[in-house]
Structure 1
Amino acid sequence: MGTGGAPSPGASALGFRPGPVGAALAAALAAVLAAATGCTGTHPADATAGGRTAASSPAPRTTSPEDLCARVVAHWSREVLDSDTYGDYQTMGLSNGQYDILRRVVDAARAEKRRAGARAADLLIDRRARSGCAAWYRTGGPSDGPWQ
């Protein structure tokens, strides 16, 4: 049963009366959104020989837990190297285990900086963060606890 040309109750309450222009705008908006999000309505089987299919798309690159650990530990080690304190591991976004690695890395980097300079300390930070995180994950990494 039709409405006899009358708009729906919700549309009239909002003062919206769909017409040819409104319908065209809605269709154009839907097309733009579909193109922007990649929702074209085609399936990989429908793709032409020149089109890309889902199978030919490169896989997203993921960062291993060891690499992520090494990157954040090295970053924060550089941040606290010239400080008198280590800072708070929670505000750094580190787990307790990562913070233990950071303290060992910073202690070694401070000694290396006094002995051989800032460049040597910087290189040591990268090596020690990587080896510390690799060892930590080799032995199981974080536990199920919230700060391990």
Structure 2
Amino acid sequence: MTSPARLCADVVAHWARETLDDGVYGDYQSMGLSNGQYEILRRIVAAARPVRQRQGDRAADELIVRRANAACAERYRDGAPGKGPWQ
């Protein structure tokens, strides 16, 4: 079974790559993200854009994976992000 943190990191990284490629954010619900995961996504994309411009796609992807893993591990460190289903 996939842990909540791993699932979060995988989904956030996927959408970060997609958003970085096309520059458009979708509705977080249509992406299958919670509001909190969407905030992680937005922070990661904002950090990845200048890295991609300066250092290329590979460096941006490494940043995306590293930040998604760290942010989702922190978010799910206690097993659940919060009390509401949207969090």
User: Structure 2 length as normaliser, TM-score?
Assistant: 0.90
Confirm or deny that 1:105 pairs with 2:30. Answer: no
Q: Which runs of 5+ in 2 are unaligned?
A: none
CA distance in 2, matches of 1:88, 1:117: 27
Asked if 1:92 corresponds to 2:28, the answer is: no
1:139 shift after superposition: 5.9
Partner of 2:83: 144
**Separation (CA, whole Å) in 2 of partners of 1:114 and 1:139:** 36
Q: Which structure 1 residue ranges, 4+ long, deviate > 6 Å from structure 2?
A: none
- Please say which structure displays the higher CA radius of gyration: 1
- Post-superposition CA distance 1:52-87 (Å, at most 9, x none): xxxxxxxxxx11111011000001111111333321
Q: Partners of 2:33 and 2:51 in 1: how far apart?
A: 24
1:114 equivalenced with 2:31 (yes/no)? no
Identity %: 66
Aligned AA (2:81): P
Residue 111 to residue 139, structure 1, CA distance change in 2 (3 Å): farther
User: Is the aligned partner of 1:75 residue 2:14?
Assistant: yes
Q: Greater helix share, 1 or 2?
A: 2
Question: What amino acid is the match of 1:143?
Answer: G
**Following TM superposition, by how much is the alpha carbon of 1:140 offset from its aligned partner in structure 2, in angstroms?**
6.1
Per the normalisation by structure 1, the TM-score is: 0.55
Cα distance between partner residues in 1 of 2:80 and 2:36? 8
Mapped to 2, the partners of 1:106 and 1:139 lie a distance apart of 25
Q: Which residue of 1 aligns with 2:72?
A: 133
Q: How many residue pairs are counted as aligned between the two chains?
A: 87
The match for 1:124 is: 63
